[in-house]
Amino acid sequence: MKKLAIAAVLISLLTPLTSLAAAQQQDMEHMSVTYRTPLEYAIYQYTTDLLNSFKLQLRADIHLQARMNIQQMYQEQSFTDNTLNADQQETIPVRLTGATTSAE
């Protein structure tokens, strides 16, 4: 008889907790749907495509501009063989440069 009473008390204690957890889970998910007309969707799609192409073009322009800037800096900082004096035009032996010669 004691075991039956203890089981009944435990069941009655646990029942409100499980129903409380189930009630909280019901309010967690909420979804709203907005229906658009075909014209509104077409305008949205066109705008999205236009913005994506603009982003791609901007990325390509940035890459091209960076390449042009690097080329310009290289040309400003580099020197040609014509501007070297005789001391600077000495040739470096192949064994010191690490370059390999082709077999003949």
Q: Which residue has the higher pLDDT, 13 or 103?
A: 13
pLDDT for residue 75: 87
What digits encode the pLDDT tens for the residues 6-27? 777 777 776 765 555 555 566 6
Q: Distance between CA atoms of 71 and 81, rounded to whole angstroms?
A: 18
Helical spans, DSSP H, in the chain: 2-26, 38-77, 94-97
Residues 44/35, Cβ–Cβ less than 8 Å: no
The pLDDT of residue 1 is above 90: no
What digits encode the pLDDT tens for the residues 35-86? 889 999 999 999 999 999 999 999 999 999 999 999 999 888 876 545 555 5
